[in-house]
């Protein structure tokens, strides 16, 4: 059994209009105030995907992309992060259609990273601990609908195996209150989100949704993974 990494995320309460306060049904979403107090194991397997200039790409979906993007922008070895959409049936994606649930895309982030500095397994560790709650089905906190589902869109069989091994160990460790519900599917297409969504937390640090839901994720990264955190 791998070493377990402890982490705690405090209660987050929605206090304003944000990434997806309205559900796909158009009704105001219920606010989930349950804190995440748990641990996840470290997986030592490293991704060996070869890409131009030695960089690799990971595609993660974990609720509103503002906070997930902000977390990974502050992880060592990450060269670029973009908000976007993946996993749907439509051949295009935009915020209105995705938010209305008509495309089945998920809000996702594209992470370009240097595996010599940070491994794919270490990115999984951050994703499953401070970036989102992997036990919430088709929602994250106040945001409801499949567009806010937990998902990993793998780009290689190596990423798929590493992800499935990681999830299996998390579940077998019984450290989470509920089983992981993260979907693991092959990447088909990543669509860039609109320009105003990119670097949203950096541009809007005092927006109420950011303050309530996303800033705590960044603080958790600094506290729980100081070895990964870089100030930008």
Would you please indicate which residues are annotated as catalytic (active-site) residues?
A: 64
Strand order through the sheet with 78-86? 183-186, 150-154, 56-62, 106-113, 78-86, 190-192
How many residues are there in the chain?
232
Answer yes or no: are the C-beta atoms of 160 and 114 closer than 8 Å. Answer: no
Torsion (CA) 221, 224, 225, 227 in degrees, nearest 10: 130
Beta bridge pairs of residue 229: 75
Beta bridge pairs of residue 80: 112
Answer yes or no: are the C-beta atoms of 121 and 42 closer than 8 Å. Answer: yes
Give CA–CA dist 230/145, Å, rounded: 32
Helices (H), the chain: 65-73, 95-99, 120-126, 157-173, 200-203, 208-209, 215-224
- Sign of the alpha-carbon dihedral angle for 19, 148, 165, 109: negative
């Amino acid at each position: 059994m791998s070493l377990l990494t402890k982490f705690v995320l405090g209660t987050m309460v929605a206090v304003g209009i944000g990434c997806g306060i309205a559900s796909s049904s158009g009704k105001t979403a219920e606010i989930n105030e349950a804190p995440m107090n748990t641990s996840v194991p470290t997986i030592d397997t490293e991704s060996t995907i070869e890409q131009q200039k030695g960089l690799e790409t990971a595609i993660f979906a974990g609720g509103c992309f503002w906070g997930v993007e902000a977390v990974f922008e502050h992880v060592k070895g990450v060269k670029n992060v973009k908000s976007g959409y993946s996993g749907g049936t439509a051949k295009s994606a935009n915020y209105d259609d995705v938010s209305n649930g008509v495309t089945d895309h998920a809000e996702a982030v594209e992470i370009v990273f240097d595996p010599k500095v940070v491994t794919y397994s270490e990115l999984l560790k951050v994703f499953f601990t401070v970036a989102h709650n992997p036990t919430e089905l088709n929602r994250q906190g106040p945001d409801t609908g499949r567009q806010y589902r937990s998902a990993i869109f793998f780009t290689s069989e190596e990423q798929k195996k590493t992800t499935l091994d990681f999830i299996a160990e998390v579940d077998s460790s019984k450290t989470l209150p509920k089983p992981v519900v993260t979907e693991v599917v092959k990447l088909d297409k990543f669509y860039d989100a609109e320009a105003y969504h990119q670097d949203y937390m950096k541009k809007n640090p005092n927006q109420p949704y950011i303050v309530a839901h996303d800033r705590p994720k960044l603080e958790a990264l600094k506290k729980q993974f100081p070895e990964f955190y870089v100030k930008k």
